[in-house]
Structure 1
């Protein structure tokens, strides 16, 4: 069951579901999240059964970033989530990104996760795309889970970028 506006607001108040949000960004059935920090990944990577090599990242300075055609950057959100054990979340792109030819690469937000969210942005168009810090880039939809859950205890707990 996707949570509506009133339940999201209640969880923000009672459980600090989202920190550093703007009230106007709480939509009917989700919350718009904004860009805080930009990173450029580089280097060879791998994901094997027993090991992984993640990219090196460098923070992109300035209030805006220009993403070239076919370029990928990582974006950390202003908002921080504190997921209760019975709530999970899905991340969707704002339709404006789609209209600009920019693809949002996301993952599932597990119950028990706490921290800022990091997503990938890939410019799929033939033109540069400029993004400013504070711009709304995605909508997060919260869902009630049924049955027993296990709180997230992975490497990105606390909002680590890599």
Structure 2
């Protein structure tokens, strides 16, 4: 079951579901998230059954950014989530992003995760896409988890980018 704005607001007040959010960004069944930090990938990566090597990253300074065609960046949200054990979440791109030829790569947000959110963004179009830090870029949708669950124990707890 997807949570509506009144349930989201209750969880924000009682459980600090979201921190550093703007109240006007709470929509009917989700919350718009804003661009916090932007990162370039500086190296390759590797993922096997016995080894995980993440890419080196470099933060991009400045308020404005131009995403060139075929360029890929990591975006870290300004907002922080604190997921209770009975709530999970998914992120979706705002429709303006897709209409601009830009695609986002989101991961599932597990119960028990706490931290900022990081996702990939790539310009699939033929033209530059300009945006700035603080811009509404994605939406988070919260869902109720029915039954017993486990808390997230992964390496990105706390909002670690890589």
Q: TM-score range by the shorter chain?
A: over 0.9
Which residue of 1 is the match for residue 25 of structure 2? 25
Which residue of 1 is the match for residue 37 of structure 2? 37
Give the secondary-structure state (helix, strand or coil) at the position aligned to 2:35.
strand
**Alpha-carbon separation, structure 2, partners of 1:126 and 1:50:** 38
Which residue of 2 is the match for residue 69 of structure 1? 69
Deviations 1:58-90 (A, max 9, x none): 000100111110000001000000000000000
Give the secondary-structure state (helix, strand or coil) at the position aligned to 2:11.
helix
**1:6-17 aligned within 5 A:** 6-17=6-17
Counting matched residue pairs gives 162
Which residue of 2 is the match for residue 87 of structure 1? 87
Which residue of 1 is the match for residue 143 of structure 2? 143
Which residue of 1 is the match for residue 119 of structure 2? 119
**Alpha-carbon separation, structure 2, partners of 1:56 and 1:128:** 24
| Cα drift, residue 151 of structure 1 | 0.3
Which residue of 2 is the match for residue 131 of structure 1? 131
4+ residue runs over 6 A deviation: none
- Note the aligned Cα RMSD (angstroms): 0.6
| Cα drift, residue 42 of structure 1 | 2.1
**Alpha-carbon separation, structure 2, partners of 1:96 and 1:73:** 18
**Alpha-carbon separation, structure 2, partners of 1:56 and 1:138:** 24
Deviations 1:142-162 (A, max 9, x none): 000011110001000000000
Q: TM-score, normalised by structure 1?
A: 0.99
Deviations 1:90-144 (A, max 9, x none): 0000000000000011000000000000011100001111110000010000000
Q: TM-score, normalised by structure 2?
A: 0.99
**Alpha-carbon separation, structure 2, partners of 1:99 and 1:48:** 35
**Alpha-carbon separation, structure 1, partners of 2:103 and 2:42:** 19
